[in-house]
Amino acid sequence: MTRVYTVASGKGGTGKTMSVVNLGTALALLGKRTIILDADIGMANLGLVMGLERTRITLHEVLAGEADVSEAVYELPTGLMVVPSGISLRGFQDADPNRLQFVMSELVKEADYVIIDAPAGINRDGVIPLAIADEVLLVVNPELSSMLDAAKVEAVVDIVGGSLGGIILNRVPPYHIAQTVQSISSVMNGQILGVIPEDSNVRTATAFKTPVVIRYPESPASRGYKALAARLVGDK
């Protein structure tokens, strides 16, 4: 059975896109057929960070009813399959987020794992990815505002009948990992599934349009993402 994860957060900029890219790549490197999909149709950047910004057919065209899902799936050398979203305003206006459910029913036929990059917050477009996932993974930074906003998303996941898989704790200070994990787990409901340290290699790798798990495979963030991937595979 295909497992569908939606990676969400309350605040923007917590590391959702980096988590989708690196978790997806790590799963592909484990030999799993994995599709990552950019459902942040207003602020699309998954294609950009994967070097797919010039693709003509994206999720926009699919959601607008102008293309088949299969035409918007791009396979990378790692085997990872990417469904980018467009960045044009017109494309955004024409895209119908309600069709996302149909897109998903097509994609699950092709993959072991589908990972959705969700918009931040809890607006209309953001709620659909929370509802259609088998599990929502919340990306949380170790700071109060991020945790408070994440708690709101946890509540919305519940309201829309979604299921919370757990938390990816991202940008953890490298010298205070144990303390940070302990203090966050005492205030958040969800289980912490992955711990990703603050790591400047994440940004450097992005400048090369390459996931950090490929460019710097032994860096602290890469180890964190690979451990998370192994855990999800073990749990399935």
Q: Where are the alpha helices (DSSP H) in the chain?
A: 16-29, 46-49, 59-63, 89-94, 100-107, 124-132, 144-159, 177-187, 200-207, 212-215, 220-235
Closest contact distance (angstroms) between CB of 91 and ligand ADP is 19
Using CB under 5 A, which of the segments 3-11, 14-22, 138-146, 223-231 binds Mg ion? 14-22
**Residue 231 found at the interface with ligand ADP (CB under 6 A):** no
Cα 133 from Cα 66, distance rounded (Å): 25
- Give the contacts of 65 (CB within 8 A, at least 6 positions apart): 96, 99
The site partner of 38 among ligand ADP, Mg ion, none (C-beta below 5 to 8 Å per kind) is: none
**Residue 199 found at the interface with ligand ADP (CB under 6 A):** yes
What interhelical angle do 124-132 and 100-107 show, nearest 10? Answer: 30
The site partner of 147 among ligand ADP, Mg ion, none (C-beta below 5 to 8 Å per kind) is: none
Among 6, 14, 85, 146, binds ligand ADP (CB under 6 A): 14
CB 39 within 8 A of CB 60: no
Residue 192 amino acid letter: I
Q: Which of residues 17-56 bind Mg ion (CB under 5 A)?
A: 17
The site partner of 206 among Mg ion, ligand ADP, none (C-beta below 5 to 8 Å per kind) is: ligand ADP
Cα 80 from Cα 76, distance rounded (Å): 5
Cα 220 from Cα 229, distance rounded (Å): 14
Of 118, 115, 109, 60, the closest CA to residue 84 belongs to 60
Using CB under 6 A, which of the segments 16-24, 55-63, 107-115, 182-190 binds ligand ADP? 16-24
**Residue 29 found at the interface with ligand ADP (CB under 6 A):** no
Tell me the residue number closest to Mg ion, measured at CB.
Answer: 17
The residues that touch Mg ion, with contacts defined as CB under 5 A, are 16-17
The residues that touch ligand ADP, with contacts defined as CB under 6 A, are 9, 12-18, 170-171, 196, 198-199, 202-203, 206, 221
